[in-house]
Chains A and B, each alone.
Chain A
Amino acid sequence: MAQSVSVSVEAPIENQILSIDYDGTEVYATPLTQSEYLTRNAARINFSKTIDSTEENKEEEQTIQPTSNPFENILNKLKEAYTEVTVLHDVLSIAKEKHYLVLDPVPIHEPIEVKPMAVVYARKKALGMAGNILISGAERLKRLDNGPDFQIELLRLRQNWRLKKVSDNIIGDLSFRTAGSKFMHPGNFEVSKADESEMKGPNPSTLSVTIPSDLQGVAYIKVVTQKDQEDLCSANVSTIDQKCKLQVGEISSWQKKFEFAQNVLFCKELFNQLAREAVQLQATIPHVVIGNQIRATLLPGIQLIISLCHSNSYQEFQEENKKKVDDLHDHVLEHSLHQLLREIHYKNVHFPIPHSGHAVGIAKKRLLAGPHSYDRHELWEITKSQNQTLLEQIIAQAQHVFMRKRTQYVLDTLARDVKDPQITSHWNALNSPTLSWVKINITTHGYDTITRTSLVIHVKERSLKAICRDGRVMHMSYEPQELRDLILQQICQHQISGLQSLSRCMAWQLLSNSNHLGIGDVEPLGNANSILISSPLGDRVIAVQVRCDPQIVVKVYVSHSPKEFFTSGPLVQGKHWENLGSEFKEVNFEKMEGRNFLNKMEFLMAALTKIKE
C-alpha cells in the first residue's frame, strides 16, 4: 500500500473573519483556546480507521524491517509511480482511438429560466435596502457633525475637572483635595455616554453624569447673629452665586451639576471643621452643636448661629432666596469666612521651607525664631496667633462686626440727638477684620476755629479704646452706655473750653474753671462742668454750669456789681460795699437769641460789656 507524505499544516496567524459590516468593519472570530482546539481536533479523528492503519503500519514495519537497503522505500514508490503513469498513458492512447473507449464530457446544468420582471423587482428591492442603509449611515454622520460629540465634550470636561479611567468607567473627582483639603468625603462622580432618550431638551449633551446622592441639591452655610430672637445680621456662604437666576436647561447641564455638587461638598467640609472646633474649644460659655447648627455666644445676649442648609432641589433654594431680606446680608462677613477656609487649605499644602524632617507642620515664623533670636514676648505672640482656630477667628470677627455696629449706632444717635455742638465721626475705610477706628470731631457751628475737640476710638473685638486730644487713653468694655457717657462728657468739656477761648477773644476774664464741679445734685456718672468769667471792667460776672447727665443741660447765671439796689443798713454800712457782687440770677437761656451755646454766650457777653467812658 502506498504511503502518504506527511505535510504539516499550520493554522493561520490572522483570525478568521466572521462577517463584514456594511461600513467595512471586519468582525473577527475569536481565536480558539487551547482546550477548544483540542476538542475540535479530537472530534475529527475516526478512531476505528486509526486502529486499522496502525495495524497496517505494524505489518509494514514488519515487512520493511528485513530489507536493509535504505533506498528500498523510495525505489518502491518510484516503481508505483512509473506503473501508474504507464497505465495512464495506455488509457489515453486507447481513448484517442475512440474505438474501445470514449471519454464523456462533464455534464453542464441547464440554465434556469429567467423572468425579466422578477429580476427587476428583486434588483429594486435590493437597491432599496442598500439605499436605506446608506441613508441611515449618512444621517448618523450628519448628526455627529452638527450635534454634540461625546469625545469633544469629554475633552471639555477633562479641561475643567479631574477625571481618571477605572476599567471601563470614567470617574471624576469633585473634592478640594488638590487645594489642600483633608476632608474625608471621596467626592467622586461617574461619567458615561448618554442614551438617545436623554439627549433631549434645550441643551442636549452626550454626557450623562452620576453624582452621589448626598452631594445632590443645593447647600449653603448660614451665619446669623441674633439678639434674643431678633436677627441682627446674616451671611450665606457657598461657592455659587446665590443671586443669579438659572434657566431650567442650565441646571441640568453637567457644568452646573458639578458646581452645585462641589458647593455641597464645600459647605459640608466647612461645617464639619467648625463643628469639630466648637466641640474642642474651651470657651467660658461653651459652644453648642446640635444637628446642623452651632451656637456660640458673642457678647451677653448676642448669639452667633452657624447652620448648614441643604435642600434637595434648586427650585426650593430659589424660593427661599426670594423670601430673604437682603438688607441683613453682610458681604464682608461672607468674604472673610471664605478667606479663612482658604487660608487653612493653603497651610495644609504649602509647608514653609526648609522642609527638614523635624520641621514639617511648624510655622515659618517659628522656624525663624531661633536664628533670629526672638525674645519671650515675640514667641508668645507667635503661639497666640498660630493656635487660633477657624471658629475662634470667626467669633472674633463677628464680635468686632457687632462692636462696630454698636459704636456706629451710639455715635449716630448722639449726633442726631445733640444739636449743639455738632458731632462728626469719620470711619476709616480700610480696616482689619478685628480692628477698626473712628475719629470723632466735636465742633460748634460758626466757631470751628476757636475750638474743636477730637478723639479717636479704636473698636476692637470686645472692647473700645478711646484716645483723647490731651493724650488720655480710656479703655471701655462692650457696653454702649460707657461710650455714650464718654462722648457726653467730651461735649461738656468742649462747651466749657469753647467758652474759655471765646471769652479771651471778647476780653473777658476767666475767674475759675472746673471740670468736676463738686456742688449741686449728685450725678450717677460724671460731674457738671463749670466756668466763671467776669467782664473787662469787672462789673459783671457770668457763671455757667453744664450738666451732661442724662442729657446736656446748660445753666447761665449773671451777677451785677455794683449792686443794683444797695441800701446801707446797720449791718453793712459803708457805701463801698455796693461793689460786692450781687446775687447770681439765672438767665433764661432757652429764650436767648443765638443759634447755639457759644453764639448765645457771645451775645450775652456783648450785652453785658460796658465801654469805659
Chain B
Amino acid sequence: MGVTILVPYPLEKKTGPEVIEDLAKRLLAMQATPAGQFLVDGDIFDNPTMNKTKIHVMHNSEYPASVFSILDNGQKQIPLITDLIFDLLMLKVSPTYQSKKSLKIESKGPRYELGDFLIKLGSVTMSQNQNFKGILIEVDYRPCLVPALCWDLMREFMQGFLGQHAPTTVPAYFTTNIPMNPVQHFQRYNDTYQPIDTVQQYLEHFNNFRKQTQAPMMMTPRN
C-alpha cells in the first residue's frame, strides 16, 4: 500500500528487453534488491447490443485476492473490487458480455525493492500472440498514502534512475477532478490513495496502447 505512479518509458531505438535490462542494471547499481516478478492484466468484456458499454476486468499480482473491474459506459467509469470468483461470474454472463481476446493486454516483468520504494519494470504485450507494445514503469512509495505529500520525493527518485524521461509534472490522472466528490475541484492529488487508483492508471495506459495501431518501431528487427 502506498502511492503508485505509472510512467511509460520510450524505447529510443532499442528493443524492449534491452531497455528493461538497462533499467535493471541502473537499479541494481543503486543497490535495489530483486523481489520477484509481477503481472498486471486487463481484459475487455463488451456487450454487442449496447454499443459503448464495456467492462474492463483487471488483475494485479500485488493484490492477489482481488479482481478489479471497471464498468465504462462512455461517460463515466464505475469501479468495483471483488473476490476472485468474479472471473467465473463473467464466464456465466458470456451471452451478454463477451470477452475480446484480441484486446487482452498485460504488463509483466521484474520487481525491485529499494528502501521504501518498490519499482516494477513492465513490458506491455497485447493479445495472445505476444504483440509487444511498450514499457510501463511503476514506482511505488510505500510509507505514504497521499500523493500530494510525497510527489516531490517520488519525482526526485524517478529522475534518479529514469533521467530525462522522468515525469516533471503530476500525472493527469491525479489532477483531474473527481466527478463524484461533493467538494468542487477536489483532486485525487490530495486524496488518500487507493489500490483502485493503481488499476485505473494502468487502464488509462492500456487504452492508450490499444489505440496505438502501429507497432512501435523497435519491434522491427535491427539490421
Query: B66 in the interface, Cβ–Cβ < 8 Å?
Result: yes
Q: Could you say which residues of chain A place their CB within 8 Å of the CB of B84?
A: 370
Are A370 and B81 in touch, CB under 8 angstroms?
Answer: yes
A contact residues, range: 10 to 19
> A373-B195, A373-B196 given as contacts; is B65 within 8 A of A379 (CB)?
yes
Residues of B within 8 A of A370 (CB): 65-67, 81-84
Distance in angstroms between the alpha carbons of A379 and B83 in the assembled complex: 13
Q: B173-196 interface mask toward A, CB cutoff 8 Å, 1 = contact, 0 = none?
A: 000000000000000000000111
Q: In whole angstroms, how far apart are the Cα atoms of A366 and B63 in the complex?
A: 13
- Answer whether residue A376 sits at the interface, using C-beta atoms and an 8 A cutoff: yes
Contact yes or no, A358 B85, CB < 8 A:
yes
Is residue B221 within 8 Å, beta carbon to beta carbon, of the partner chain?
Answer: no
Q: Considering the complex, give the chain A residue whose CB is closest to the CB of B85.
A: A358
Within the complex, what minimum Cβ distance (angstroms) separates A369 from chain B?
Answer: 4
Q: Name the distance in Å between B196's Cβ and chain A's nearest Cβ.
A: 7
A374 touches B82 (CB 8 A): no
Q: Does A372 contact B (CB under 8 A)?
A: yes
List the B side residues contacting A367 at CB < 8 Å: 83
Chain B contacts for A373, CB-based, 8 A: 63, 65-66, 68, 81, 194-196
Cross-chain contact of A371 among B1, B64, B66 (Cβ < 8 A): B66
**B62 beta carbon closer than 8 Å to chain A:** yes
A228 at the interface (CB under 8 A from B): no
**A366 to chain B: which residues have CB within 8 Å?**
65
Residues in B whose Cβ lies below 8 Å from that of A97 = none
Distance in angstroms between the alpha carbons of A370 and B84 in the assembled complex: 7
Q: Which of A371, A376, A378 has a CB less than 8 Å from the CB of B83? A: A371
Within B63-100, which residues are at the interface with A (CB < 8 Å)?
A: 63-68, 81-85
| Complex contact B195–A371 (CB within 8 A) | no
Residue in chain B with minimal CB distance to A371 = B81
Name B36-77 residues within 8 Å CB distance of A.
61-68
Q: What per-residue 1/0 map shows which CB atoms of A95-134 lie under 8 Å from chain B?
A: 0000000000000000000000000000000000000000
Q: How many A-B residue pairs have CB under 8 A?
A: 40
A375 at the interface (CB under 8 A from B): yes
* Residue with the highest number of chain A CB atoms closer than 10 Å, among B65, B68, B84: B65
Contact residues in B for A375 (Cβ distance below 8 Å): 1, 62-63, 195
Most chain B CB atoms below 10 A, which of A367, A371, A378: A371
CB distance from A28 to the nearest CB of B (A): 69
How many chain B residues sit at the interface, stated as a range, is 10 to 19
When chains A and B are docked, how far (Å) is the Cα of A545 from the Cα of B48? 87
Shortest CB-to-CB span from A257 to chain B, Å, is: 51
Complex CA gap A568/B220 in Å reads 92
- What residue in chain B is nearest A358 (Cβ atoms)? B85
CB distance from B79 to the nearest CB of A (A): 10
Taking the closest CB of chain A, its distance from the CB of B194, in whole angstroms, is 8
Q: How far is the CA of A463 from the CA of B66 in the complex (A)?
A: 36
Which B residues touch A369, using CB under 8 A?
65-66
Q: Looking at the assembled complex, report how far the CB atom of A352 sits from the nearest CB atom of chain B, in whole angstroms.
A: 14
> Which residues of chain B have C-beta atoms less than 8 A from A379's C-beta?
64-65
How many angstroms from the CA of A370 to the CA of B64 in the assembled complex? Answer: 8
Interface hub of A369, A375, A379 (most chain B Cβ within 10 A): A375
A372 near B64: Cβ-Cβ < 8 Å: no
| CB proximity to B under 8 Å, residues A536-551 | none
Tell me which residues across on chain A come within 8 A of B62, comparing CB atoms.
375-376
Q: In whole Å, how far is B39's beta carbon from the nearest beta carbon of chain A?
A: 12
CA distance in complex: A379, B1 (Å): 12
A366-391 interface with B by 8 A CB criterion: 366-367, 369-376, 378-379
CB-CB contacts of A344-360 with B at 8 A, as 1s and 0s? Answer: 00000000000000100
* Shortest distance from the beta carbon of B64 to any chain A beta carbon, whole Å: 6
B6 to chain A, nearest CB (A): 16
For B62, B83, B195, B196, the residue with the greatest tally of chain A CB atoms inside 10 Å of its CB is B83
A374, B63: Cβ atoms under 8 Å?
A: yes
Give, as a whole number of angstroms, the nearest-CB distance from B145 to chain A: 13
Beta-carbon nearest neighbor of B83 in chain A: A370
Contact B82–A371 (Cβ < 8 Å):
yes
**Residues in A whose Cβ lies below 8 Å from that of B196:** 373
Q: Which residues from chain A contact B195 at a C-beta distance below 8 Å?
A: 373, 375
Closest to B36 in A: A376
Residue of B nearest to A378 (CB): B1
A33: shortest Cβ distance to chain B, in Å? Answer: 66
A133 to B63, CA, bound (A): 88
Cross-chain contact A374 with B85 (CB below 8 angstroms): no
Q: Which residue of chain B has its CB nearest to the CB of A374?
A: B65
> What is the CA–CA distance of A404 and B67 in the complex, to the nearest angstrom?
45
Q: CA separation between A358 and B66, bound complex, in Å?
A: 16
Q: In the complex, A366→B65 CA distance in Å?
A: 9
Q: Chain B residue with minimal CB distance to A356?
A: B85
Complex alpha-carbon distance, A376 and B82, angstroms: 16
A375 to B193, CA, bound (A): 14
Q: Which residues of A contact B68 (CB under 8 A)?
A: 373
List the A side residues contacting B81 at CB < 8 Å: 370-373
Whether B66 lies near A376 (C-beta < 8 A) is no
**CA–CA, A367 and B66, complex, Å:** 10
CA distance A433 to B63 in the complex (A): 31
A379 to chain B, nearest CB (A): 6
Q: How far is the CB of A409 from chain B (nearest CB, A)?
A: 38
Q: How far is the CA of A375 from the CA of B196 in the complex (A)?
A: 12
Q: How far is the CB of A490 from chain B (nearest CB, A)?
A: 29
The complex places the Cα of A369 from the Cα of B194 at a distance, in Å, of 14
Q: How far is the CB of B37 from chain A (nearest CB, A)?
A: 12
- Highest count of chain A CB atoms <10 Å: which of B61, B63, B85: B63
A375 to B81, CA, bound (A): 13
**How long is the Cα–Cα vector from A379 to B60 in the complex, in angstroms?**
14
Which of chain A's residues have a CB closer than 8 A to the CB of B66?
369-374
From A380, which residue of chain B is reached at the shortest CB distance? B64
A367 to B1, CA, bound (A): 19
Chain B residues near A374: list those with CB within 8 A. 63, 65-66
**Closest beta carbon of chain A to B78's beta carbon, Å:** 15
Which of B61, B64, B67, B85 has the most C-beta atoms of chain A within 10 angstroms of its own C-beta?
B64
The closest CB in chain A to the CB of B196 belongs to A373
A-B contacts, 6 of them at CB < 8 A, read: A370-B82, A370-B84, A371-B82, A373-B63, A373-B68, A373-B195
Q: Which 4 A-B pairs have the closest CB atoms?
A: A370-B83, A373-B195, A369-B65, A373-B66
- Sample of 5 further A-B pairs with CB below 8 A, known A373-B196, A375-B195: A370-B81, A370-B84, A373-B68, A374-B63, A375-B62
